[in-house]
Amino acid sequence: MNVNDLKKKYKNKWILAEVIKETKKHTIIDIKPIIISDNRDEIYKSLSKLKKGAHVATLYTGKIPPKGMSFTFHVYPSYAGLSGLAGSKQS
């Protein structure tokens, strides 16, 4: 599957894929999805289960936060299991 087609089909997803074809400069042209997830950790756990030397790539198909953007996670004890997310621009 073409990388651009994959990004259009699976928006805002983490993908672990086998690299099928790439240029001499290692730009990926075609890939075969292995796992598609909303959860990045699921992708990273799956990496450890692959055969040593597997030719794979991980990618995120969503919008990457702009340079200088940071995120803070807060856990509120009175709301067990819930967390808030605040983004802030670094100076």
pLDDT value at 55 more than 80:
yes
Give residue 53's pLDDT.
Answer: 82
Is there a contact between 86 and 71 (Cβ–Cβ < 8 Å)? yes
Separation CA 57–CA 27 (nearest Å): 11
Give residue 85's pLDDT.
Answer: 46
Is there a contact between 2 and 29 (Cβ–Cβ < 8 Å)? yes
pLDDT value at 18 more than 90:
yes
User: What separation in angstroms does the CA of 64 have from each of 41, 52, 68, 70?
Assistant: 17, 29, 11, 12
Mean pLDDT of all residues in 11-19: 93
pLDDT tens, residue by residue, 23-54: 999 889 999 999 999 999 999 899 888 888 88
